[in-house]
Chain A
Amino acid sequence: MLCQICKKKEATIILTKVSEGQKTVIQLCQDCASMFNDKLSIFPIPEFNINDLLTGLLKAIDLYSKEEGVIPIKEVKCSNCHLTYDEFKQSGKLGCSVCYHDFREQLIPLLRRLHGNSEHVGKIPQRAKGKLNKIRKIKQLRKELQEVVSREEYEKAAKIRDEILKLEGALKKRNAK
């Protein structure tokens, strides 16, 4: 089933709204759903209590995944600390840093709802700086590349492409080490 809004991505979320006895069901992909849930106010967002907010979101996300039957969430377990996703849902607390990796699929929609975003752009620890700065730079250059290509500025594009290749080469070398 494709998302009813963008008609491009797979719909993974079913939004059901009951208003004055009328039931409306919409099937959405995650991206479109995150855009829409404010307007539909499907998720009651308590104003000042962050813990209620979190548990509420967890339940909502869980519910939709279950209806879809995509991820048997109960069985998901962290390979390092053995915390189950169910336990996380109860306490709102993850067990270790590996949980972020092992629950990533479930966490992304949650992080989007909590922060409007799922990717870090802030401070980087010294030890990871070289690598991550290169990755960020490559991302930014790819964007620029698209822009200059669309403006048909091919000379500039070639320069940017070379720079990307250079950075990617450096990253590969680093990873090989």
Chain B
Amino acid sequence: MQNNKKGIILQKLKESDAEWTNGQGPLSDIVISSRIRLARNIEGIPFPSRADQVELKNIFDLSQQVIEKSSLFKDYNLLLLDELTPLERQFLVEKHLISIYHALKKQVYRGCIFNQRETLSIMINEEDHFRIQYLLSGLQLNEIWKLINKIDDEIEKIVTYAFSGKEGYLTSCPTNVGTGMRASVMLHLPALAMVGGMNDILKAISKIGYVVRGFYGEGTEVMGNLFQVSNQITLGLSEEEIIDNLEKVNQQIISQEQKVRNDLLSNSKSQLEDQIWRAYGILSSARIISSVEAMELLSKLRFGVELGIISHPDLATLNKLMLLIQPAYLQMLAGKDLDPFTRDLQRAILIRNKISE
């Protein structure tokens, strides 16, 4: 029964597209998505790294109560990660529903709650008891804060959070204490990357308390010119201030990117067009392609769409492709484990089909 339910949830997840990939949000020609996550712990129970099995189970049961008791969480799915295969867990990572750390760490009663739109997910017993995250397309941090704040209040009706007047929301790692909030914006910055302007920007923003991460969060590589900019400071600033500052930092990066894009368009349009059409050529005819090469070329194609040089495929298709071509997603679609070479073959077919749709 349990297995059956798990199967249905994963099947649906395989077929559905996350709402944040729709390419519709504000400034979506540069901003892929915005995300806020809140780290929360339950009073009186040690943090997951120090909790015993009974305590971890208590937390998991509490999360179940949360979604059962509140109408806000109607139609939400709850998965117990212990019951999933490594491939299925990796698939959740690629869907941006859980972190790599959550997928890999050896510990029982790890869970994941998420809604059908895949905008909200709650990791249970990750580094903290609850890690609530909300994702939307484009630059929408204020909107997300409103939504996630409501969810947070709703959960608090059922559980008592560990909180102190001085240090705020108490978290396993002191780098998250206070608001427990990490806000981030995923930017597509091909022009800045092309002219080598990224290093200066990265240096500058790290100096003022912001950090850049890769496509799959902390400790992951930047690929396809996708940069995730997020706040580091969580204590001593209000949530609104953190969001406001992050939005300002991002707006500056965005205007830099726009400036370089315009310069490139007016000075080297032919070279740009050539690169973009070549990328299109390879993607629409390659028979074997690795995920790294595909991400790079998809970035170029996306750049072409963003600049209006090429009109097809649309941003939504490109966003979705970035997820579909990842190793675990490909294997989930195939319904079996695939060796790397077969994945490169399958990936090429998938891209050709999507691009010619």
Hey, which bits of chain A sit against chain B, CB under 8 A? 47-48, 50, 54, 80-81, 83, 91-97, 100-101, 107, 110-111, 114-128, 131-132, 135
B224 to chain A, nearest CB (A): 18
- A sample of 17 cross-chain residue pairs with beta-carbon separation below 8 angstroms, ordered by A number, consists of A47-B203, A50-B175, A81-B46, A81-B50, A94-B172, A110-B174, A111-B235, A116-B233, A117-B235, A120-B168, A122-B168, A122-B181, A122-B242, A123-B149, A123-B152, A123-B179, A123-B238
B170 lies within 8 A of A48 (CB): no
Closest to B170 in A: A97
A20 to chain B, nearest CB (A): 25
Tell me which of A93, A95, A115 contacts B234 (CB under 8 A): A115
Q: How large is the interface on B (under 10, 10 to 19, 20 to 34, 35 or more residues)?
A: 35 or more
Interface residues of B in 233-268 (CB under 8 A from A): 233-239, 242
Contact flags B25-66 to A (C-beta < 8 A → 1, else 0): 000000000000000010111110110000000000000000
A97 lies within 8 A of B41 (CB): yes
Write out the residue numbers on chain A whose beta carbons fall within 8 Å of the beta carbon of B169. Answer: 120, 123, 125
Closest to B173 in A: A93
Write out the residue numbers on chain A whose beta carbons fall within 8 Å of the beta carbon of B170. Answer: 97, 100
A125 lies within 8 A of B156 (CB): yes
Q: With contacts A97-B162, A120-B179, A127-B160 known, what are 4 further pairs, Cβ within 8 A?
A: A91-B49, A107-B174, A117-B235, A118-B167
B167 lies within 8 A of A132 (CB): no
Tell me which of A97, A101, A110, A122 contacts B178 (CB under 8 A): A122
**B232 located at the interface, meaning its Cβ lies under 8 Å from any Cβ of chain A in the complex:** yes
Tell me which of B43, B127, B152, B211 contacts A93 (CB under 8 A): B127
B49 lies within 8 A of A125 (CB): no
B41 lies within 8 A of A115 (CB): no
Q: How far is the CA of A115 from the CA of B181 in the complex (A)?
A: 13
B160 lies within 8 A of A93 (CB): no
Closest to B209 in A: A116
A132 lies within 8 A of B177 (CB): no
Closest to A46 in B: B206
Interface residues of B in 301-325 (CB under 8 A from A): none
Q: How far is the CA of A95 from the CA of B166 in the complex (A)?
A: 18
**B218 located at the interface, meaning its Cβ lies under 8 Å from any Cβ of chain A in the complex:** yes
Write out the residue numbers on chain A whose beta carbons fall within 8 Å of the beta carbon of B49. Answer: 91, 93, 95
